[in-house]
Amino acid sequence: MKRLSRLRRHRAAGPILLVFALFTIGTTFQVASAVSNTTTTAADRSATIEEGKQLFLKGCSSCHGLNAEGGGIAPSLIGVGAASVDFQVGTGRMPMADMSTQAVRKKVVYTPEEINALATYVASLADGPAVPTDAVLNYERDGSVAQGGELFRTNCAMCHNFAAQGGALTQGKYAPTLMGVEPKQIYEAMITGPQSMPVFSDKTITPAEKLSIIKWIKAAEKEPQLGGTALGRVGPVTEGLLVWTLGIGLLIGVAVWLAMKAR
């Protein structure tokens, strides 16, 4: 007993323990990510859930709680559904790097298999919106650009800008641009309402209408710049900035030249 106590106070005890702990975490991670992830059978599914749980405990539980029950700094994930996890992790918004205003789109940390495992785990806690399948997302076939435009202007344009370029909200929050966002992620955002965004229920905007909105956004991405440069398509702000700086700057320059004594 005395010997153990002496060993514990040894100079090298701290570093050795640290190495041991890192080794344990590393190997557990290896074991966890080695698990296969196809969810065809119930056994596979429970294996995926277990893998997702391990990933969750390592990557998410410090904020969202050990049982995804939420905490002072992060919401509960019970009932948010697989679609929510797929959106937040699949766009790199989670894990969050900076807690100040809102989670921003950034480099995705997890592999698609890991995201699937996390989503399956969170979906196993309580029912929630599922990740839309590729069959559902056939917007090219099932959507209508004209209808999508009408829906977009009524439901989305006030935050995301009339050309889906994004816009400002209160206190530094903002609605991000929708240019280059995957159709699946747009769909997931509408059914889950991430962060400041409200939910757009399937009854008030039907799945077919959601596909129309996606088709319109994809059409807007390809919209040519007919008038020279589009200046970010954010309306009078950049146009005004250009006129007030470049245009008036040029006028001032000419005025100074006019009034200069000729040599």
Partner 1 sequence: MSNEIELIKDPGLPAHVHRRADDDEKYAKRAETQVSILFLLSAFGTVLTIVSYVFIPTDKFIFIPVMGETNAEQLLLGLGMAIALFCIGAGAIHWAKTLMPDNEVIAERHEFRSEDEDRAEFVKTVKAGASAAGLGRRPLIKRSLGLALGLSGLTPLLLLRDLGPLPKENLQKTSWKAGTRLVTDPGDRPIKPADLEVGAVAQTLPELAPGEERTLNNIGKDAVLLIRLRPEDFNLDAERLSWTHEGIIAFSKICSHMGCAVALYEQQTKHLLCPCHQSTFDVTRAAKVIFGPAARPLPQLAITVDADGYLVAKQPFTEPVGPSFWERSS
Interface residues with partner 1 (CB under 8 A) are: 147, 150-151, 154-155, 158-159, 167, 169-170, 173, 175, 193, 195-206, 209, 224-230, 254, 257-258, 260-263
Report in angstroms how near the CB of residue 195 gets to partner 1 at its nearest. 6
Long-range contacts of 166-171 (CB under 8 A, 24+ apart): 167/234, 169/196, 171/101
Under DSSP, the state recorded for 244 is I
Report in angstroms how near the CB of residue 169 gets to partner 1 at its nearest. 6
Report in angstroms how near the CB of residue 203 gets to partner 1 at its nearest. 3
Judged by CB, which is closer to partner 1: 30, or 100? Answer: 100
Q: Which residues of 65-93 are buried (b: 16+ CB within 10 A; e: fewer)?
A: beebeeeeebeebbebbbbbbbbbbbbbb
* Distance (Å) of CA 119 to CA 42, 131, 149: 16, 9, 31
What is the Cα Rg of the chain in Å? Answer: 26
Report in angstroms how near the CB of residue 126 gets to partner 1 at its nearest. 13
**How far separated are the first and last CA of the chain, in Å rounded?**
99
- Distance separating alpha carbons of residues 197 and 194, to the nearest angstrom: 5
Pull the structure tokens for residue 159. 């935050």
Report in angstroms how near the CB of residue 92 gets to partner 1 at its nearest. 20
- Distance separating alpha carbons of residues 51 and 30, to the nearest angstrom: 11
Judged by CB, which is closer to partner 1: 68, or 175? Answer: 175
Report in angstroms how near the CB of residue 179 gets to partner 1 at its nearest. 12
Judged by CB, which is closer to partner 1: 19, or 239? Answer: 239
Judged by CB, which is closer to partner 1: 89, or 156? Answer: 156
Judged by CB, which is closer to partner 1: 94, or 205? Answer: 205
Judged by CB, which is closer to partner 1: 158, or 248? Answer: 158
- Distance separating alpha carbons of residues 87 and 173, to the nearest angstrom: 18
Report in angstroms how near the CB of residue 196 gets to partner 1 at its nearest. 4
Judged by CB, which is closer to partner 1: 59, or 193? Answer: 193
User: Is-contact 245 252, C-beta < 8 A?
Assistant: no
Paired with 175 in beta bridges are 167
User: Is-contact 96 103, C-beta < 8 A?
Assistant: yes
- Distance separating alpha carbons of residues 115 and 110, to the nearest angstrom: 6
